[in-house]
Amino acid sequence: MRIPFVGVGLLVLVGGGAGVAGAQGWVTDARRIGLGGLGLDQGSLRRYNAAYRAVPGRAGQRGRPKLTIPIPLGLIQFFHDHPLSNIKNDPAFNHDSAGFNPVELLNTFLNPPLFLEVKKAPTPTNDVVFGIGKDSLRLNLGLTAQLVPEDQFGIGGSSRPLDPGLSIKGVRVGVMGWVHDDVGFQLGDKLLGFLRDSVPADTNTRYNVLGDALLEVGFAPTVAYAGRIAGDSTTGLYVGGAFHYYVGLAYVRVNGDGGFTTGDSIFSGPSPVKPDARGLTQYSKFGNSFGHGVGGDLGIAVVTGPIELGVGVNDIGATITWPDTRRDSAFYRDSSYSRPLLPNHIETKTKLPVSYLVNLAYTVGKTTLGADVLNSGRGTTVHVGGEQRVGVIVLRGGVARDQRKRIELGWGGGLRFGGLGLDVGFWTHTNSLSNQRGITMATSLSIY
Amino acid sequence: MKAKWLGVALGCAVLAGGAAGCGQGRAIFNVDVYSFLKGTGRDTLRLPPDPLPPLPPSTTVTDSVTPIAVNLPGAGSSIVDTVRLIGTLDVTNPTSSGTLTYQIFFASSPSPAVVYGSAPALTVGPASFPAATTSVPISAPNLAAPLRDLFKSSALYVGIRGTISNTGTTGLRTTLKLTQLQATIIIQDKIF
């Protein structure tokens, strides 16, 4: 049963599941995890709202940590369970092992074991039933069929890993690093019916999966402004904007369509199925000519006493033009392979996704409550949460609606001693290939 | 090549992802063996074979079909836990009463000498039948381990041999017609 197609399936699953992984975004801060993914501190709000550079810290807020270091308890457990010295023979990774379970492997990918899984989502154990006849093939996945994605699924978004700069009187000059990644898959209608609705395979029919992936990186010299245009420090209106000149260092985009076509008969004849695949790769390597583009961010924030409301939009109009793009194509059909020549060194364009954040925070005494709606390029997430400070202890809780429109919960707490803070956060997730939620415990150390 | 089909299907199954727990994560193949025999004439044994005359009382005749290929998924190194066979055989329009023995063979080679040189996977009978059309059930809860291993390959050859004896007083002629034969192959190999 260890067949190459398992690998194919895995690859597709990686894409599919990755959509799941991206559902709540990658968060390494236990404080934020404890808030159900809500970014309450101004540091995370500044990423999406240019006006927040001017908004002062809230009364009672303990300040922003200079550094937050995740404590990788999950990695310790993982390498204890899967020692590197024996990784080749580890049943979890060796597909020849009788104990190998591709779904478990995928779950490891979807839930990188940085933090401890205190409740693992159960590995699915469905029986899979194939009905086979000379002219028929039917697949019954049982309850698993409910997880077959009907729409496009994938992972993606834009991020700004570095943003150093200098500010003078609200004007900031800096250089921002940017990364945009996007991977998506979509099952063709026929394959979807075969997998999800247990529709029998038909003769002379193509079953396929469409896939696309994009990765581009670069930097952007930036001039930004953020300031209060009305009011005072307790009640004020803040605006911000940034102009970016995007310089693309490298990019690669892959579009593919793979599948198989049935013959005149499902199970007879010399070639009952003919696999085929076609792919187009466009890329501009590091060191090749730079991509160029312009775009901007806008933000507005209103502070009225204990209430804070903000709206930020990023990467407006950010289209990158790559003047020297190489293109490769490949075509495979039933054991024959060709690489049709395409015009090369052409100009192509990519577009950074417009991301936005709408946030609301309410602070009273030692309690802060907040909510946000975030879209960073692939789907919208909603977070609602709050924290309560009691002496050196902070208690947190939150609820989120992830990109799969599932409700997730977060809770946790922290201790702060002088310049050092230790935080722990729990959150439920459906990042696994399962209908049931798992629970992750995150721990992090913050230096203030 | 047939394994390719199943490979694709299985890949797709894996693709589909996991699910809530039910079952034991096994692959179960319900193979309609009869569909491979139907229409080829090899689902039918005419006894005695044409153009021989009817079988005289107290005599026996045996005949077999040319082995036919059945396509399977190809289970590689997996463990075939169970191969269950169920089916129905019709003893059609016998001109006298008699007894029958019906044997199904499986082999990895198409050679009749190999197929019929091995032990039968399943033997129905000896069973008596009247001088009227009768249905005989075929059932094997689990084949022997060496036979189960044959189901790991991507092609399997099926042979059918029938023997009838005339216990009546008139000449016997009949047709043994398979009307259903399904193999359920349970592979103890976690897909999920």
pTM of the model: 0.69
Amino acid sitting at position A305: G
Tokens of A128: 């899979």
Q: Which residues pair with A153 in a beta bridge?
A: A185
- For residue A173, count other CB atoms closer than 10 A to its CB: 12
Residues recorded for chain B: 192
Confirm if A430 and A415 have CB atoms less than 8 A apart: no
Taking the Cβ of residue B79 and every Cβ of chain A, the question of whether any pair is shorter than 8 Å is answered with yes
Q: B1-4: list long-range contacts, CB under 8 Å, 24+ apart.
A: B1/A270, B1/A271, B1/A272, B1/A273, B1/B154, B2/A267, B2/A272, B2/B71, B2/B72, B2/B73, B2/B74, B2/B154, B2/B155, B3/A3, B3/B72, B3/B73, B3/B74, B3/B154, B4/A272, B4/A273, B4/A275
In a domain, B163, yes or no: yes
In a domain, B10, yes or no: no
Number of domains in chain B: 1
A contacts of B181 (beta carbons < 8 Å): none
State whether B192 and A123 contact (CB < 8 Å).
Answer: yes
Taking the Cβ of residue A295 and every Cβ of chain B, the question of whether any pair is shorter than 8 Å is answered with no
Q: List chain A pLDDT tens, one digit each, 448 residues.
A: 333 333 333 333 333 333 333 334 456 788 889 999 888 877 778 889 999 999 887 665 666 677 888 888 888 888 888 887 777 777 777 766 656 666 667 667 666 778 888 887 766 666 788 888 887 888 888 777 777 777 777 777 888 888 899 999 899 999 999 999 888 888 889 988 988 888 888 888 898 989 899 999 999 999 999 999 998 878 899 999 999 999 999 999 999 998 888 887 776 655 567 778 889 999 999 988 899 999 999 999 999 988 999 999 999 999 999 999 998 888 887 667 777 777 888 899 999 999 999 999 998 888 999 999 998 877 788 999 999 988 889 999 999 987 777 889 999 999 988 888 899 999 898 765 666 788 889 999 988 8
ipTM score over 0.85, yes or no: no
Q: Angle of helix A102-110 relative to helix A4-21, nearest 10 degrees? A: 30
Among residues A136, A242, A338, A303, the alpha carbon closest in space to that of B32 is found at A136
Higher pLDDT: A264 or B86? It is B86
Q: d(Cα A318, Cα A156) in Å, to the nearest integer?
A: 16
Q: Which candidate in A128, A191, A209, A260 is best for mutational testing of the B interface (most B CBs within 10 A)?
A: A128
- Quote the pLDDT of residue A26: 56
A contacts of B8 (beta carbons < 8 Å): 5, 207, 260, 273, 275
- Quote the pLDDT of residue B24: 55
- Quote the pLDDT of residue B56: 92
Going by C-beta distance under 8 Å and a sequence separation of 6 or more, which residues neighbour residue A205? A190, A261, A262
pLDDT digits (tens, 9 = 90+) for B136-153: 999 988 988 888 888 877
In a domain, B20, yes or no: no
Pairing between strand A407-417 and A393-401?
A: antiparallel
In a domain, B191, yes or no: no
Task: Break chain A into its structural domains and give their ranges.
Answer: 2-72+114-447
In a domain, B2, yes or no: no
Tokens of B137: 């059930």
Q: d(Cα A226, Cα A54) in Å, to the nearest integer?
A: 5
State whether A273 and B5 contact (CB < 8 Å).
Answer: yes
Q: d(Cα B105, Cα A37) in Å, to the nearest integer?
A: 63
In a domain, B66, yes or no: yes
Domain of residue B89: give its range: 33-180
For residue B115, report the phi and psi dihedrals to the nearest 5 degrees.
-60, -50
Q: d(Cα A298, Cα A279) in Å, to the nearest integer?
A: 38
Q: How far is B141 from chain A (nearest CA, A)?
A: 18
A31 sits in which H/E element: helix A30-34
Q: 3-state class of A21 per DSSP? A: helix
Q: B48-56: list long-range contacts, CB under 8 Å, 24+ apart.
A: B48/B173, B53/B171, B54/B95, B54/B96, B54/B170, B54/B171, B54/B172, B54/B173, B55/B96, B55/B98, B55/B164, B55/B166, B55/B171, B55/B172, B55/B173, B56/B166, B56/B171
| CA-angle at A81, arms to A76 and A83, nearest 5° | 85
State whether A147 and B3 contact (CB < 8 Å).
Answer: no
- Quote the pLDDT of residue B116: 92
A contacts of B11 (beta carbons < 8 Å): 3-9
Q: d(Cα A312, Cα A334) in Å, to the nearest integer?
A: 51
State whether A126 and B9 contact (CB < 8 Å).
Answer: no
Taking the Cβ of residue A432 and every Cβ of chain B, the question of whether any pair is shorter than 8 Å is answered with yes
**Percentage, residues of chain B above pLDDT 90:** 43
State whether B27 and A1 contact (CB < 8 Å).
Answer: yes
State whether B192 and A124 contact (CB < 8 Å).
Answer: yes
CATH number at residue B155: 2.60.120
A contacts of B30 (beta carbons < 8 Å): 129-132
pLDDT mean across residues, chain B: 82
Q: How far is A127 from chain B (nearest CA, A)?
A: 4
How many CA atoms are closer than 13 Å to the CA of B139, on its beta-carbon side? 4
